[in-house]
Amino acid sequence: MRPPESFVRRVRSQLDGLPSTERRLADFVLEFPGELASYAASELASLAGVSNATVSRFVRRLGYVNYDDARRHVREERESGSPLFQAASSARQGGSVVATHLQQSQQNLQQTFDRLPPAQVQAIVKALVNAPQVLIFGSRSSHAFAVYLRWQIIQVLPRVVAIPGPGETLGEHLAGLSARDCVIVFGMRRQTRQMAAVIDGTTRAGAQLLFISDTLSPDCPTATWSVECQCAGPGPLDNHVAVMALCDLLASLVIEAAGPAARKRLAAIELAHEELDEL
């Protein structure tokens, strides 16, 4: 059976006891671990300057049945989104790096918005405006999107919270959910286990759930609405331009749809800024 540890962790745990030729191979694969998924055993041996037999001994020492087993494991980890397993692509691509990133961003935006039905967007905006409270969750890199979207729409919707806050628990927020409330979950790949708890709590409460993910993440069957953003990146990191654009779209439409009450709140906030000399 495949070892439960990641490929890189397994290699590093063996470094001190490796013979010199296997150590040379280990150093090579640790520099660009994702390359293992692209090469046959003989190709890897040639690149690292070792024999085919060394490659076979090395992968068995790591706990794999054979080289193909190790390569499948690396491929799975590369698809999971770890930037460590993407590093080789940007290091070896040709042409202008700036132009490449711009082109990828444009493609991601186009593909994301082409799949976004206008009627769905309007339904989401209406639900957000009418909700007694809006909870927004995202962990790791998705936390930044949750905080940003909350910062934008709190200007017109008074009860918007990015959860959990410092020192808070999820239960303190999920306990009071009602069917009219809205929960937004940013579920781009490599999330923490907290995301499942938020989705489960939202589903049990019968609240409306907007699930925003990327095209490589599992879907959320219980979501009221699901939006997939294209986040392919030309280098080691996912490109999240489309996610930010979606946040901007939702925030802009919410502000427009909130009506006179929103304008009154905006005016009050601006007055408070002046009185407190905050800006």
Per-residue pLDDT of the chain (279 residues; tens, 9 = 90+): 444 678 888 888 888 889 999 988 988 888 777 777 778 999 999 988 999 999 999 999 999 999 999 988 888 877 665 555 554 444 444 457 788 888 889 999 998 999 899 999 999 999 999 999 999 999 988 999 999 999 999 988 889 999 998 889 899 999 989 999 999 999 987 778 899 999 999 999 999 999 999 877 778 999 999 999 988 877 767 889 999 999 999 999 999 998 877 677 777 777 787 778 777
- CA atoms of 232 and 224, how far apart (whole Å): 25
**Inter-helix orientation angle 7-14/67-80, to 10°:** 130
Task: Give the per-residue pLDDT at 95.
Answer: 55
DSSP one-letter string for 142-162: HHHHHHHHHHHHTTT-S-EEE
For residue 118, whether the previous peptide bond is cis, meaning omega lies within 30 degrees of 0, is no
Task: Give the per-residue pLDDT at 76.
Answer: 81
Task: Give the per-residue pLDDT at 86.
Answer: 54
- CA atoms of 85 and 35, how far apart (whole Å): 8
Specify the residue for token string 């692209």. 38
Task: Give the per-residue pLDDT at 130.
Answer: 94
> Residue 131's closest CA among 156, 105, 168?
156
Q: Residues with Cβ < 8 Å from 2, sequence gap 6 or more?
A: 63, 64, 69, 73
The vertex-27 CA angle with 58 and 236, nearest 5°, equals 110
DSSP 1: -
Task: Give the per-residue pLDDT at 12.
Answer: 83
Q: Hey, how many other C-beta atoms are within 10 angstroms of the C-beta on 176?
A: 11
> Residue 205's closest CA among 182, 233, 183, 177?
177
Task: Give the per-residue pLDDT at 80.
Answer: 61
Task: Give the per-residue pLDDT at 16.
Answer: 80
Task: Give the per-residue pLDDT at 197.
Answer: 93
- CA atoms of 109 and 102, how far apart (whole Å): 11
Instruction: Flag whether the pTM goes above 0.75.
Output: no
Task: Give the per-residue pLDDT at 273.
Answer: 75
Task: Give the per-residue pLDDT at 101.
Answer: 85
Return the H-helix or E-strand segment holding 41. Answer: helix 41-48
Domains within the chain, CATH numbers bracketed: 7-92 (1.10.10.10), 98-276 (3.40.50.10490)
